[in-house]
């Protein structure tokens, strides 16, 4: 079953999800790029920041989710496109595609298990001397993910969730080494954010808008509430609220900023 995205659910923690994007883009030292592309732009709220930073650039946002692009289209001054990241990484032997000065991908590559193999193709889309910057979560060993995996492997869920997409990423050094071997200058690092969340079952709200969404959508309507109830209970135990109702969610993220050789 193909899953769909809910822009409104995703935007519930827009500030927390947006901070890594700001930290990533802050390391791109491009003065006056002509073309800037946000690959995996989601609802476009962060792509808008690219237009604000480089107002004279032609800025485009690309996402495979029609729901996300529909939401993003409410923002003027940016070209929006529904497309698959994998098609962007395919060879262009006739050199028909215009090179991109700044290519950004924020919290998107983790959805493609083969994304390490796609990086050379994506780099090919970047102009000589241009920038390729991406950020992926690196928290897949945390309870927010392991609990979902363990629960989904149990009956009666296992058969239904077996083919649901799950995110994954690599060590920062793996990304850095690959791009260094391609001749790039590379700045790679990792950061663990401590998000302070409030509300009813805030960690469930967070993961149900991103990493857990395909698993939840793989379940039929009559079985999903049972799964969600158990998932919520286990998350509450793993991430207890303090006396003031605050929950701390550690979230490790991996950043890579690469500059392509001038020639």
What confidence tier does 15 reach under pLDDT thresholds 50, 70, 90? Answer: confident
On whether residue 203 sits in a domain, the answer given is: no
Q: How far is CA 139 from the centre of its chain?
A: 12
pLDDT of residue 90: 84
On whether residue 189 sits in a domain, the answer given is: yes
Burial of 109 (0-12, 13-18, 19+ CB in 10 A): buried
On whether residue 147 sits in a domain, the answer given is: no
Omega prior to 213 cis, within 30 of 0: no
On whether residue 21 sits in a domain, the answer given is: yes
Give me the sign of the Cα torsion angle 81, 82, 85, 89: negative
Please tell me the total count of domains within the chain: 1
**Rounded CA separation 26/42 (Å):** 20
Kindly report the pTM of this predicted structure: 0.91
Over residues 17-73, the pLDDT tens digits come to: 788 999 999 999 999 999 999 999 999 999 999 999 999 999 999 999 899 899 999
Over residues 85-100, the pLDDT tens digits come to: 898 888 776 566 889 9
On whether residue 73 sits in a domain, the answer given is: yes
Over residues 107-120, the pLDDT tens digits come to: 999 999 999 999 99
pLDDT of residue 231: 96
pLDDT of residue 1: 44
- Who wins on pLDDT, 94 or 129? 129
Q: For residue 64, give its domain range.
A: 7-140+166-196+250-259
pLDDT of residue 213: 87
On whether residue 2 sits in a domain, the answer given is: no
**Rounded CA separation 255/20 (Å):** 8
Helices (H), 2-107: 7-10, 14-25, 47-53, 66-72, 85-88
On whether residue 153 sits in a domain, the answer given is: no
DSSP string of 117-149, one letter each residue: HHHHHHHHTEEEEEEEEEEEE--TTSHHHHHHH
DSSP, collapsed to helix, strand or coil, labels residue 18 as helix
For range 69-78, the mean pLDDT: 94
**Rounded CA separation 133/24 (Å):** 7
DSSP, collapsed to helix, strand or coil, labels residue 83 as coil
On whether residue 235 sits in a domain, the answer given is: no
pLDDT of residue 89: 83
Question: Does residue 125 surpass a pLDDT of 50?
Answer: yes
Report residue 74: phi and psi, to 5°: -70, -15
What confidence tier does 16 reach under pLDDT thresholds 50, 70, 90? Answer: confident
Question: Does residue 2 surpass a pLDDT of 60?
Answer: no
**Rounded CA separation 176/180 (Å):** 6
Determine how many CB atoms are found less than 10 A away from the CB of residue 225. Answer: 10
**Rounded CA separation 151/25 (Å):** 36
CB 85 within 8 A of CB 118: yes
Question: Does residue 245 surpass a pLDDT of 90?
Answer: yes
Q: What is the separation, in whole angstroms, between the first and last Cα of the chain?
A: 44
**Rounded CA separation 137/130 (Å):** 24
CATH code of residue 64: 3.40.50.150
Q: How far is CA 248 from the centre of its chain?
A: 21
Least confident of 4-18, 72-86, 199-213: 4-18
For range 152-179, the mean pLDDT: 95
């Amino acid at each position: 079953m193909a899953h769909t995205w809910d822009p409104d659910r995703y935007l519930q923690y827009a500030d927390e999800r947006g901070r890594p994007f700001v930290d990533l883009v802050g390391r791109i030292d491009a003065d006056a790029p002509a073309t800037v592309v946000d690959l995996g732009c989601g609802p476009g709220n962060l792509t808008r920041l690219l237009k604000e930073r480089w107002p004279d650039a032609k800025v485009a946002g690309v996402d495979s989710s029609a729901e996300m692009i529909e939401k993003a289209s409410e923002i003027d001054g940016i070209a929006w496109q529904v497309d698959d990241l994998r098609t962007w990484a395919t060879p262009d032997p006739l050199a028909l595609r215009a090179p991109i000065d700044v290519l950004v991908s924020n919290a998107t590559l983790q959805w493609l298990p083969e994304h390490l193999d796609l990086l050379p193709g994506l780099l090919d889309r970047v102009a000589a001397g241009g920038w390729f910057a991406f950020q992926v979560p690196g928290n897949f060993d945390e309870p927010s993910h392991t609990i979902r995996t363990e629960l989904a492997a149990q009956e009666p869920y296992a058969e239904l969730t077996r083919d649901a997409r799950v995110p994954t990423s690599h060590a920062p050094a793996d990304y850095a080494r690959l791009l260094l071997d391609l001749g790039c200058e590379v700045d790679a690092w990792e950061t663990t954010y401590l998000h302070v969340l409030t509300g009813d079952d805030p960690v469930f709200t967070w993961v149900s808008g991103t990493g857990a969404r395909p698993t939840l959508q793989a379940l039929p309507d009559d079985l999903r509430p049972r799964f969600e109830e158990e998932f919520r209970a286990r998350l509450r135990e793993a991430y207890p609220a303090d006396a003031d109702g605050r929950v701390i969610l550690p979230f490790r993220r991996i950043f890579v900023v690469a500059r392509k050789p001038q020639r």
